[in-house]
A and B are shown apart, each in its own frame.
Chain A
Amino acid sequence: MTYSLFRSLIVAMSLFMPLVSASYAVAEPVRKDAMVVEAPWARASIGTSRPSAAYLTIHNEGTSGDVLIGIQTSVAGKADVHTMTMTDGVARMGVAGAVEIPAGNKVELKPGGMHIMLMKLAQPLEKGKSFSMTLRFEKAGNITLTVPVLGIGATGPGE
């Protein structure tokens, strides 16, 4: 009796488990000391002739500020943080340069805000695949992440 109950529980769990892991699309946070990088994702590209964008959230849980000074990835010859500003309904893309990550703060890169512009693509970014990207911080040093590629029209990490 107990055994059959146990067995049906195992069966039920094994049926349920793959579903859970498959629907959990948001990448695990990557931590280095007090710096946590959350929910990275990139937009699929059409071929390699046009740029794409990557997004993530940087959480500085420490007590001193840090600065994101560079981004490197083998999929793009050039990767810079850009800003999007909206004035009188006109969207304008600018260069963010080094991005301050104040102590205890979260800096979110998201559509319509800041993005990592991926230029000179070495390969098309295909939905469902992922690639490696390294963020360089002034104090925390290098943090390497696996960035999942979502659809071309994705608006957030869970899509």
Chain B
Amino acid sequence: MKTVRYILWGLALLALVIAAGHQLSHFLGTDAENVDGFQPAFTLVNHQGDTVSEATYRGNWALVFFGFTNCPDICPTTLAELAEVMDRLSAESKEVTPLFISVDPARDSIEALTEYVSAFHPSIVGLTGSDKQISNAVSSFKAYFEREAQDSAPDGYTMAHTSSIYLMSPAGYFVRTFKYGTPPEDILEDLRGRI
């Protein structure tokens, strides 16, 4: 009887060691992949009005997209694509956070962002901030945006912006980008290979 108990304890211990080793190698694997990666940093306000930073989203994979709510073409198609990815991830979607960072804080108030992102998917987080916070955030991702005067646009201007989706690891490292128009299937396949 005692022997059986020892064997069971032994097996439990072995399972624990294997699990820990798996976690460790998983963690090292993630880090190794990002030897040349970088960790973007930001302080912004989410569409619920809370101040957030890059640390807020640690522990989850993040799909980051830059845009503005007055954008009628690239932004809705990309957000719809993120929505499709989130829907098709099903259970794994808990490990992914889509972030929409506004590059047009003058027009994108917290209310405007709420209205906009919620039209696509409940999981999408809209982020805005002051001009300085936005430009710091965008440059920390090594992304780009610029306000451009244009008579044929609402309020006389439009925003040029990086159109790729950035994938960040749970440790907050840049992993890769998905260029504009990447089919949702390709993003899903990439994510499933990592989660």
Contacts and interface: CB of A to CB of B under 8 A. Distances in A.
B77 A89 contact: no
B179 A89 contact: yes
Given A47-B115, A90-B161, A115 B76 contact: no
B181 A93 contact: no
B119 A86 contact: no
A112 B73 contact: yes
Contacts, number: 88
Interface string B105-133: 00000001001100110000000000000
A43 B119 CA distance: 13
A102 B65 CA distance: 37
Interface stretch (A20-28, A50-58, A129-137): A50-58
B184 to A, nearest CB: 10
A43 B76 contact: yes
Interface stretch (B29-37, B144-152, B186-194): B144-152
A93 B73 contact: yes
Contacts of A90: 144, 160-163
B80 interface: yes
B137 interface: no
A93 B158 contact: yes
B160 A153 contact: no
A11 interface: no
B154 A152 contact: no
A51 B115 contact: no
Given A89-B163, A152-B120, A51 B72 contact: yes
A31 interface: no
Contacts of B164: 89
A142 interface: no
Nearest to A110: B73
Q: Which interface residue of A46, A51, A90 has the most chain B CB atoms within 10 A? A: A90
Contacts of A84: 73-74
B83 interface: yes
B85 to A, nearest CB: 12
Contacts of A152: 76, 80, 119-120
Contacts of B112: 49
Interface of B: 69-74, 76-77, 79-81, 83, 112, 115-116, 119-120, 144, 148, 150-154, 158, 160-164, 177, 179-181
